[in-house]
Structure 1
């Protein structure tokens, strides 16, 4: 990332002069795009972290040079295992260290002496243990880092960067499709889980960073890096504690003024705070204080990964603006009523459509049992997608409508399949045409479409329904239309976007 950025820093009542910070983050850039990686602690057999992360990089298709290292030597998958990093004849950009904790400082020092720009330490056994030995070992790492090597970890799962082919533990099959969503996380497990959620939800990542104990690079510096990262548009964060609260909230407010930030704050309950202390040596903090501070920074606080994925997906796909009015369409009056009731607490209106538009929509709807007021009741789940297209286009003409919710009960095609006999569910479910016409309506009407895809049928006989729903979700998200399991999740995500852009306005 080569940057010329105007930084303004308040000084008394005015501002300091513009400062050129060209290439401030050059070393961090090289960490995310290494041309060569040494993996220290790779065994020729077994299931250790070093071997696993080596195989994961081969599996995901990392195109750079990999150098496995173990003092015993040997080979792995036809490649020589070097006895030390010094024995590697070539230049190394990045190192992954997976050896017992007491061996990590010497391994890191060897990397620094070799000229390695950055390293991630997967090993645990440092300050998170709470022991004098673990704390002292981590202090050694900090001392080495200050001599000139950037460090992720220890006690982490590492970095996932689909563009460069970097992957984290244990991610051999994460997606290689890059996107605009980043995650900073103290938790390794949560990091890789979010990566896999993104794979089927249609969230594509610029970077995921599991920084664990964060003895060098951690939440605040990485937030500032992502603020200026042109590949990142949406920033997600999981934190248990911060090194410097004042600096963190200063950075958070600066970043949120330019890019949406979504945060899960772990350790806010008494028992959660105890768990955070043993997990990453973090202090959870007071719930009320944290929540108030996050609101003041205009970030979106969420409770779990499901909510984070809903909000991140919506931020990444919907145009950046405030959304107030919604047109709801689905097969069944109760569904529409429930959707309208759900919208109101989130500050979203489901207004009646203009009379002329209602009349035009009624001409399209099947009869009897349908309604065109808003919610639009299309009466049955088998209505052809071509009629849904027309309804969306009519509703888009109403100036009070900002976006559309389309509720589709595709599981009802299972009953139709049973009645028809020897036919595959995917062949009679018009999900491909549905995605096509919804995208066309969005392009013509200039208003986003969001799909709600409930599934109440989850018996062992209903696996085909899951397959159809997965394919439907993929087609919609690839076409730029987010998909949700419930209207509540959709309205919550839209409300989060609206709050953020109302602040930015």
Structure 2
């Protein structure tokens, strides 16, 4: 274990990488990995290995990794299953520090495949070399512009979050959708079948990296549950861990077994134990990114009271239901606060009790007064968290004169930015809820580009605030 941990950095920061099985053939993993590496300005040396061609994407190719004249830090193997063992041995003889095996067809398929995995691990140990995989989709490190993965990452957002996943492509999908909300991870490791290095190793590794502020994990099995708990307990003292555990039911456990060879029902770790040591349990896979960003970026939520400012009364009702279902409360404001809100020009038909319903008042055209309402609430001492919901609307302005349309869009944008600034001023979480994506709403597009996170679902907002409340009371 100790020897492995010394060299995990090679999987994210190599000075040179060889790709055994590199090719330009469309639709092949050899081309995916090459295209991924070349999609960013990686500063290290790139060595394609393919005896059938002289060049791959214009880069000189070698017939054997041992023929490469320079030092090779990392080898990525994308050859057919029957030639993987020879590729690993050749990598060891080249004195590579690590090998990423993309190739599938091992322990996730059969017991004989598991035996082949064991052989790979034995070969690696004989050369004091580490293996990631087999059956992985790759890794990436956006800060190092290193992307030997099956997914282009030019559209992704680099953040101080790192991800360790036993499954790969589903997480790429989450990252692609997260991009439009300014969410992502800076470092990603897919551990696959874990014949050598495991998720535990990379959890410990990321726990020690000062530039990593939070760790996301997708787990289908805990291959060494006691070791995981020991590492997680230590890491969770200093930085958040947000984990989604797949394979909770018999059917999903069977799917996990055929996916990565995971034994979900065996060596399991109960969710209650994870909570005891301070790990955030993501109830769904889709919540990994929102919860991860929340616990890393948001100020502490010190109580359960939530204030709501909404552009429609029905959203206030839905938010209240969902918040209370997750253990939070939406208390009625005191008479003093309600009187001060009326003093800010809120008409009699607009509710000031909590939720505050702005929908029928027309105040959403006045960003300054909207932000003053938020300021009055957040500094009142009557709320531990604040939600602004219903902003970003592009509707009912399409046929308006351009000046009027621009005025409306600017008011929406300034209201959102003003509420976001209140979070920093008051050190209280402020969440922006909208039903519109950045490509539907110019205001949402612009504030997202300025680093403001927005939330599209009522349930997600409630989950995030509930998570913040639990996490900061626990820590």
Name the count of aligned residue pairs.
470
Assess if the C-alpha contact under 8 Å between 1:273 and 1:285 holds in 2. yes
Inter-CA distance 250–451: structure 2 relative to 1 (3 Å threshold): same
Task: Single out whichever of 135-144 and 163-172 deviates more from structure 2.
Answer: 163-172
Per the TM alignment, residue 332 of structure 1 is displaced from its structure 2 partner at its CA by 2.3
Per the TM alignment, residue 474 of structure 1 is displaced from its structure 2 partner at its CA by 6.1
1:298 aligns with 2:278: yes
Inter-CA distance 210–383: structure 2 relative to 1 (3 Å threshold): same
1:144 aligns with 2:123: yes
Match of residue 344 from structure 1: 324
Unaligned runs of 5+ in 1: 1-20, 456-464
Per the TM alignment, residue 81 of structure 1 is displaced from its structure 2 partner at its CA by 1.4
Secondary structure at the aligned position of 2:218 is classed as strand
2:422 is aligned, of 441, 454, 458, to 441
Assess if the C-alpha contact under 8 Å between 1:330 and 1:336 holds in 2. yes
Distance 1:375 1:435 in 2: 18
Assess if the C-alpha contact under 8 Å between 2:157 and 2:179 holds in 1. no
Inter-CA distance 79–427: structure 2 relative to 1 (3 Å threshold): farther
CA RMSD in angstroms, aligned pairs only: 2.7
Inter-CA distance 474–491: structure 2 relative to 1 (3 Å threshold): farther
Per the TM alignment, residue 174 of structure 1 is displaced from its structure 2 partner at its CA by 4.0
Per the TM alignment, residue 294 of structure 1 is displaced from its structure 2 partner at its CA by 2.6
Inter-CA distance 183–199: structure 2 relative to 1 (3 Å threshold): same
Per the TM alignment, residue 44 of structure 1 is displaced from its structure 2 partner at its CA by 3.7
Assess if the C-alpha contact under 8 Å between 1:186 and 1:213 holds in 2. yes
Match of residue 208 from structure 1: 188
1:386 aligns with 2:368: yes
Inter-CA distance 427–66: structure 2 relative to 1 (3 Å threshold): farther
Match of residue 48 from structure 1: 28
**TM-score, with length taken from structure 2:** 0.91
Assess if the C-alpha contact under 8 Å between 1:116 and 1:149 holds in 2. yes
Match of residue 45 from structure 2: 65
1:414 aligns with 2:395: yes
Assess if the C-alpha contact under 8 Å between 1:181 and 1:203 holds in 2. no
> Can you list the C-alpha shifts for 1:68-108, whole angstroms capped at 9, x where unaligned?
11121321222211111122211122111100111111111
Per the TM alignment, residue 288 of structure 1 is displaced from its structure 2 partner at its CA by 9.5
Per the TM alignment, residue 182 of structure 1 is displaced from its structure 2 partner at its CA by 1.6
Distance 1:40 1:436 in 2: 49
Match of residue 243 from structure 1: 223
Distance 2:185 2:347 in 1: 45
Per the TM alignment, residue 218 of structure 1 is displaced from its structure 2 partner at its CA by 0.9
Secondary structure at the aligned position of 1:416 is classed as coil
Distance 1:390 1:29 in 2: 49
Distance 1:142 1:445 in 2: 53
2:159 is aligned, of 162, 172, 179, to 179
Assess if the C-alpha contact under 8 Å between 1:185 and 1:237 holds in 2. yes
> Can you list the C-alpha shifts for 1:121-151, whole angstroms capped at 9, x where unaligned?
100111111142x223211210122121111
2:68 is aligned, of 88, 110, 114, to 88
Distance 2:289 2:157 in 1: 17
Per the TM alignment, residue 440 of structure 1 is displaced from its structure 2 partner at its CA by 3.4
**TM-score, with length taken from structure 1:** 0.86
1:488 is aligned, of 456, 459, 463, to 459
Unaligned runs of 5+ in 2: none
Assess if the C-alpha contact under 8 Å between 2:225 and 2:268 holds in 1. no
Task: Single out whichever of 371-380 and 427-436 deviates more from structure 2.
Answer: 427-436
